[in-house]
């Protein structure tokens, strides 16, 4: 059986109604339960989204919004055949994904490093980028500040630094990865902060 919105009807015998009714409600629960919480008894999570599954729209920009609504989010296939997420507020249509192509990327982290030991601060993302980076001895104002470039040959230039008896940690490239190195003679927690901008 399939869902029948005309069940029950005025002429429907109560004896014939239950089988179709059970089918209807089973179908509704199956459909709703894919993306939403469907509790059999009332709970605070009734109807809450578990996910939002989308089918890509044929048109990139919606012509208008449904009556009584102010915005919509939808998926769309870009020129490279990738599904992307977009948001339309009735005036502006904006692409939201992939973030590494649209917005600066913030990378922060820390690692306890023995003298001269390194840790990967930013693994090769597979695209060209330009950015800035800080390498800091945790809990101090001991730092190095860099311009970084991964485009063709990788390049890194120190712009500024500060020291107070502790050797400053450094940033360096190893292949296309950015590493942080503890230059001090003692084990230090080394902190990195990078802003990466994808370039074409």
96-153: pLDDT as tens digits: 998 877 889 999 999 999 999 999 999 998 889 999 999 999 999 999 999 999 998 8
> Which of 180-186's residues contact partners 24+ apart within 8 Å by CB, and which partners?
180/111, 180/113, 180/118, 180/119, 180/121, 180/135, 181/113, 181/116, 181/117, 181/118, 182/113, 182/114, 182/115, 182/116, 182/117, 182/118, 183/116, 184/115, 184/137, 185/115, 186/115
pLDDT band for 17, please (50, 70, 90 cuts): low
Residues 110 and 190 in one domain: yes
The CATH number for 186's domain is 2.60.40
Of the candidates 65, 97, 129, which is a domain's last residue? 97
Residues 44 and 58 in one domain: no
41-78: pLDDT as tens digits: 888 998 899 998 999 987 767 878 888 999 999 999 98
Report the Cα–Cα distance between both ends of the chain, in Å, rounded.
55
Residues 182 and 143 in one domain: yes
Name the domain count of the chain: 3
Residues 181 and 146 in one domain: yes
Residues 128 and 166 in one domain: yes
Residues 152 and 88 in one domain: no
* DSSP 3-state percent helix, strand, coil across the chain (nearest 5): 10, 40, 50
Structural domain boundaries enclosing 79: 54-97
Residues 60 and 83 in one domain: yes
Contact (CB, 8 A) for 193 and 134: yes
Residues 120 and 184 in one domain: yes
């Amino acid at each position: 059986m399939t869902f029948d919105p005309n069940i029950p009807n005025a002429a429907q015998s109560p004896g014939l109604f239950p089988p179709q009714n059970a089918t209807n409600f089973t179908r509704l629960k199956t459909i709703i339960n894919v993306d939403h919480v469907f509790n059999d008894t009332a709970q605070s999570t009734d109807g809450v989204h578990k996910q939002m599954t989308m089918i890509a729209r044929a048109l990139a920009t919606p012509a208008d919004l449904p009556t009584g609504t102010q915005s919509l989010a939808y998926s769309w296939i870009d020129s490279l055949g990738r599904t992307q997420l977009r948001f339309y507020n009735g005036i502006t249509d904006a692409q939201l994904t992939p973030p590494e192509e649209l917005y600066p990327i913030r990378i922060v982290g820390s690692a306890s490093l023995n003298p001269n030991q390194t840790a990967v601060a930013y693994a090769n993302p597979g695209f060209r980028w330009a950015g800035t980076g800080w390498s800091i001895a945790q809990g101090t104002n001991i730092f190095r500040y860099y311009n970084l470039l991964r485009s063709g040959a990788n390049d890194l230039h120190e712009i500024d630094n500060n020291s107070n008896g502790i050797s400053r940690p450094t940033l360096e490239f190893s292949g296309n990865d950015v590493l942080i190195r503890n230059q001090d003679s003692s084990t230090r927690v080394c902190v990195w902060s990078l802003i990466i901008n994808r370039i074409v």
